[in-house]
Amino acid sequence: MRVYWRKVKRGENLILSDENDGNEVELGGFRDTKRGIDALAKTFSYDPSRSRKGFPSIEEAKDFVESFRPWELFGAQGVTVEPEVRPALDSATTDTAGTPDRQK
């Protein structure tokens, strides 16, 4: 199991990846909005303490998400977050709505 950050539009997502089967789970992330940086650590139930708005820096938002250790919800014990941020998945074939672009 590996945990790493991946770039997405206007932010990054924290990803749990299983090298054995290639499955990935989004654990949380942050978004840079007009009003500041918002962060969220996912959980299986409603827990408003796992989201917060208005972080002054990206690093503080990432630290917030990582502090919940959301990967442990999926049984990944003793893993650490990889320091290198992965690039976004190929978005050349996807428009902003998440649907494939049509060739003209």
* pLDDT 10s digits, 26-78: 999 999 999 999 999 999 998 999 999 999 999 999 999 999 999 999 999 99
103 located within any domain: no
Residue 33 domain flag: yes
> Could you read off the pLDDT of 90-103 as tens digits, one per residue?
754 334 444 344 34
Quote helix, strand, coil % in the chain, to nearest 5: 15, 40, 45
User: For residue 32, is it within any domain?
Assistant: yes
Decide: pTM greater than 0.85.
no
The separation between CA 61 and the C-alpha centre of its own chain, rounded to angstroms, equals 11
How many domains would you assign to the chain? 1
Its domain, for residue 58, covers: 2-74
Residue 70 lies in a domain: yes
Q: How far is CA 62 from CA 14, 37, 88, 100, in A?
A: 9, 10, 17, 30
Burial of 102 (0-12, 13-18, 19+ CB in 10 A): exposed
pLDDT at 98: 41
**Which of 5-14, 46-55, 84-93 is the least confident region?**
84-93
